[in-house]
Structure 1
Amino acid sequence: MFENPTPGLQENTWLVIRFPHRPHIVVTSEQLPHQLAVMVDDPTAPGGKRLTFTGPTGNIMDIVSKQLNLRYTYMRPPDGTWGTLQSDGTWNGMLGLIIAEKAEMTPGPFFMGYARSKVLDYSSYYINSVYQILAARGRPRVDPWGFLLPLSQWVWAALMTALLAVIIVMLILPSWLPPDSNQPSRIETNIFNCVRVLFQEDIRRTTGWWWWERVALGVWMMIMLVMTQSYTGNLMSLLAVRHIDHPHQSLEDVLDHGVKIIIVENTNLLPYFRLAESGIFREIGDLLGTDQVVFKKVFELPSSMRTIVLDGTHVLFDADFNYKQMLPTEFSLTGRCDFYLSFSTYMPTPIAMVTRKNSLLIPGLNKVAEVMVESGMYRYWLFTSQPNSTTCNNLPKIISVSTVLALSNVWGMFAVLGGGFLVSLMVLVLENVVVVGRCGR
């Protein structure tokens, strides 16, 4: 039935099993964001139309057909799903078609899993994938307390400590003067002069000062000049900064924020949620059947992303190779990067083609998969199937803008001003109470 050896993708580099009489097989596949089902004209097909798939799926089957010397036609699953084990022991979706021997194989991409391996055969893997969260980016916002950011917390603490040290020096050193120096008491003046330097104001009553006082206060003025210029320059830069929230970096964040999760129905992911005994997967498993978890078909993900995910009420939890098509497509339509991917990833799993149990296709499919891994073809197909494939990768959480200064930028400073007025009013009331009490005596 086989003739072996024959040349492979590159002459004399590896060997592929080939069928001698070019048999015909049925291949099952379904739409993904990076592979679309299309009907093409074919006079030999029933109705003059033939189902085919664009993207990596079509490329894989072209290689398989050429290297294994076979013909194929596509069949889509009636329920439009990939396939999971049902409660009655049967399988649905594409896997159900293969197990029922209505189809011979599927190019995938299928996550490898133990339950599937008991009834089906996997080829060698051709790419690794992970599950990630896709969520809507927050809108650029201004930090109203940005006037505190030009200096770090430690610098603010050191500045206050230095102010206290200068005040102490100005108060203690006069006690070392000779008794007959006739030095007038300037305690309040010295304290307020140190504070006035901190706020870049002039100093008063300097006549009759000793040179040590002039030197101590002059050094403090030099330090504050440098600090003030640094603060002013950094503040001007920070007022042009906008912060963009990326709050959902893990599944724990999603549950804590009460956001709903969209999951593709009937995929390899569901058994992990249902069978998990602890951890975050167990928590999500407990939510299955509630409105907290929403099931969608794969081809419904792009429309869901543009609606309920964009408004912030839902997030997607799916394989990262789907996002590699959805995000560039969305950017090409809108010119914006409105979504981000979480830092946390889950379930790193190899992806492979699937056939019937003990299929004669496996040796040839293994060779095709190995070549795709060695050459990086599948990843290349993903990145080249759409323009702008890397435009929305590694999005910044902080951006700079050029705009007028608005109240939203500085209301934190006015809050400090109002707080100062409130404290001064409380002190005024307290002083009046004290004065009235003294007069009453």
Structure 2
Amino acid sequence: MSQDGPPYQVTGSMIEVMDILAETLDFCFKYVVPDDRQFGRQDANGSWTGMIGLLARHEADMTGVVVGLDLDRRTVADFSDFLYMDQERLIYKRPVVESDMAGFLKPFTLSSWMMVVATLVAMAGVVLLTRQVTPQPARHCPGTDGESSRQQETVWNSLLDTGLWSVAVSLAQSSTLVPRGMRQKAVVGMWLLLALIISTVYRSNLKAMLIKPRLVLPFSNLEELVETSIPCFTFRGTLLHRNIEAAEEGTTMWRLNKVLYTHNDVALGVRDMSLGKHVLFTTYVGLLSVLHSHFLQTKSCSLYMTDDSYYGSKSLTLAFPKGSQLRQKVDPIIVKLREFGILGRAFMKFVAHSKTCLNSDPGSVDSALRPLQMGDMYGVCLVYVGGITLAAATLLMEVVIALRKRGGKRSARE
């Protein structure tokens, strides 16, 4: 018998199945591991590697793990009735919530922010228009010589006042603008209500994002994966590896070859995937074992699996040399074990914790609160510092202009 030994083939459950077969048929067995530790693929010269090669050369009586059934393998080996039905899936490290300098802008989309800015400008213009329709009485400003002089408000001053007022209302700040006439009062009242709605929605969305943030997954299917630059790893010598290499040019699977690399070091492949170095593309049965083992090690579900399957369902069976009599004895036992649910029970017993991660939402974050970092404050601080700088520059310009005017008036008197 041959045994590949990787944990992604759920060897624990297969050991239990092999023990049942040995006890029922009254035989002893030992495991033989192929030198290349592959399931088996056909070379250019027609010979087979891995476990299928051991069977083709009659160096083993059967496989000790399930293998995928396909037409090429069927020409050199016989296969039992299926034990499990399997599919190919993608698994990757789930992203975590990190500090975001622009996080305070995330409650609204870019188009929403553009609409808010456009509304600010439009509201300032409408208020200015209503102000011109209902002119304000002239203001009396004391002159430097003690005499009062009339100063009619200019359009620029009106536009500045209305612009500052529209921004102040949206920020829930006080303003010196006093509406005049029914037209202007109606416009002002409408903007007060609209600003209240916008600010309430913004605060609500921001609070929801801080309390229960959502993760943006880098991909959710194979089509999205090939659009990224994330490397994809699969085990060498598997049916999936061969199908990817033989994919038709222009298809999604063919494009996957650009970021694909393979080897047979299972522990290294799973470890690098859990560190986020690459995506793991393999069988669903194997990925359940990965989820189970990872949960036992970390006590968390920090991996996520895609829902889409590829190439459809396939049979996982035991393989035998061509013309083997042992297959005829094993088949009835496998059918009974499968129909009575013993195979499913043996399988799930060794991947029990995978259900916990499969039932979790991949877009959610851990319940533990993440402390705010400096990166979370940079964006707001930059806006605050920018506002203070702009206000200080404006004040300085006003002081300079006022001093120049005062100096000009003194020169005229002299």
TM range (shorter): 0.7 to 0.9
Q: For residues 98 and 363 of structure 1, do their structure 2 counterparts lie closer, same or farther at Cα, with a shift above 3 Å needed?
A: same
The answer to whether structure 1 residue 99 and structure 2 residue 63 are counterparts is no
Bigger RCO (CA 8 Å, 6+ sep): 2
Q: Which residue of 2 aligns with 1:234?
A: 205
Unpaired stretches in structure 1, ≥5 consecutive residues = 1-26, 37-53
Q: For residues 144 and 90 of structure 1, do their structure 2 counterparts lie closer, same or farther at Cα, with a shift above 3 Å needed?
A: same
SS at match of 2:124: helix
Amino acid at match of 2:299: G
Q: CA RMSD in A?
A: 4.1
Which among 30, 44, 63 is matched to residue 74 of structure 1? 30
Amino acid at match of 1:264: F
SS at match of 1:222: helix
The 5-angstrom pairing of residues 26-37 of structure 1 reads 27-33=1-7
Once residues 234 and 372 of structure 2 are traced to their aligned partners in structure 1, the CA distance between those partners, rounded to angstroms, is: 43
Once residues 350 and 78 of structure 1 are traced to their aligned partners in structure 2, the CA distance between those partners, rounded to angstroms, is: 22
Q: Which residue of 1 aligns with 2:71?
A: 114
Once residues 35 and 195 of structure 1 are traced to their aligned partners in structure 2, the CA distance between those partners, rounded to angstroms, is: 63
Cα deviations by residue, 1:107-162 (Å, 9 ceiling, x for unpaired): 53111111101122222323222223333333431332221232345554554454
The 5-angstrom pairing of residues 27-66 of structure 1 reads 27-33=1-7, 55-65=12-22
Q: Which residue of 2 aligns with 1:334?
A: 298
Q: Which residue of 2 aligns with 1:382?
A: 347
Cα deviations by residue, 1:163-222 (Å, 9 ceiling, x for unpaired): 445434433445666x9x96986833344323321221212152x832443343133223
Q: Which residue of 1 aligns with 2:374?
A: 407
Q: Which residue of 2 aligns with 1:316?
A: 280
Q: How far has the Cα of 1:260 moved from its partner?
A: 4.7
On the 8 A contact 2:4/2:34 being kept in 1, the answer is: no
Once residues 185 and 225 of structure 2 are traced to their aligned partners in structure 1, the CA distance between those partners, rounded to angstroms, is: 60
TM-score, structure 1 as length reference: 0.70
Q: For residues 209 and 173 of structure 1, do their structure 2 counterparts lie closer, same or farther at Cα, with a shift above 3 Å needed?
A: closer
Which among 258, 263, 281 is matched to residue 234 of structure 2? 263
369-378 vs 324-333, greater mean Cα deviation: 369-378
Once residues 337 and 57 of structure 1 are traced to their aligned partners in structure 2, the CA distance between those partners, rounded to angstroms, is: 25
Once residues 241 and 73 of structure 1 are traced to their aligned partners in structure 2, the CA distance between those partners, rounded to angstroms, is: 54
Q: How far has the Cα of 1:427 moved from its partner?
A: 9.8
The percentage of aligned residue pairs carrying the same residue is: 21
The 5-angstrom pairing of residues 4-19 of structure 1 reads none
SS at match of 2:30: strand
Q: For residues 258 and 388 of structure 1, do their structure 2 counterparts lie closer, same or farther at Cα, with a shift above 3 Å needed?
A: same
Q: Could you say which structure has the higher helix fraction?
A: 2
Q: Which residue of 2 aligns with 1:192?
A: 164
Q: For residues 277 and 405 of structure 1, do their structure 2 counterparts lie closer, same or farther at Cα, with a shift above 3 Å needed?
A: closer
Q: How far has the Cα of 1:258 moved from its partner?
A: 5.2
On the 8 A contact 2:95/2:217 being kept in 1, the answer is: yes
Once residues 164 and 100 of structure 2 are traced to their aligned partners in structure 1, the CA distance between those partners, rounded to angstroms, is: 32
Unpaired stretches in structure 2, ≥5 consecutive residues = 139-151, 409-414
Q: Which residue of 1 aligns with 2:124?
A: 167
The 5-angstrom pairing of residues 342-353 of structure 1 reads 342-348=306-312, 349-353=314-318
SS at match of 1:313: coil
SS at match of 1:115: helix
Q: For residues 230 and 35 of structure 1, do their structure 2 counterparts lie closer, same or farther at Cα, with a shift above 3 Å needed?
A: closer
Q: How far has the Cα of 1:332 moved from its partner?
A: 1.2
On the 8 A contact 2:131/2:184 being kept in 1, the answer is: no
Once residues 212 and 286 of structure 1 are traced to their aligned partners in structure 2, the CA distance between those partners, rounded to angstroms, is: 65
Q: How far has the Cα of 1:343 moved from its partner?
A: 4.8
Q: For residues 259 and 175 of structure 1, do their structure 2 counterparts lie closer, same or farther at Cα, with a shift above 3 Å needed?
A: closer
Q: Which residue of 1 aligns with 2:149?
A: none
220-229 vs 416-425, greater mean Cα deviation: 416-425
TM-score, structure 2 as length reference: 0.74
SS at match of 1:171: helix
Q: Which residue of 1 aligns with 2:106?
A: 149
Once residues 380 and 414 of structure 1 are traced to their aligned partners in structure 2, the CA distance between those partners, rounded to angstroms, is: 57
Once residues 93 and 3 of structure 2 are traced to their aligned partners in structure 1, the CA distance between those partners, rounded to angstroms, is: 30
Q: Which residue of 2 aligns with 1:202?
A: 174
Q: For residues 257 and 239 of structure 1, do their structure 2 counterparts lie closer, same or farther at Cα, with a shift above 3 Å needed?
A: same
Q: Could you say which structure has the higher strand fraction?
A: 1
Q: Which residue of 1 aligns with 2:363?
A: 397
Task: Give the paired residue count.
Answer: 379
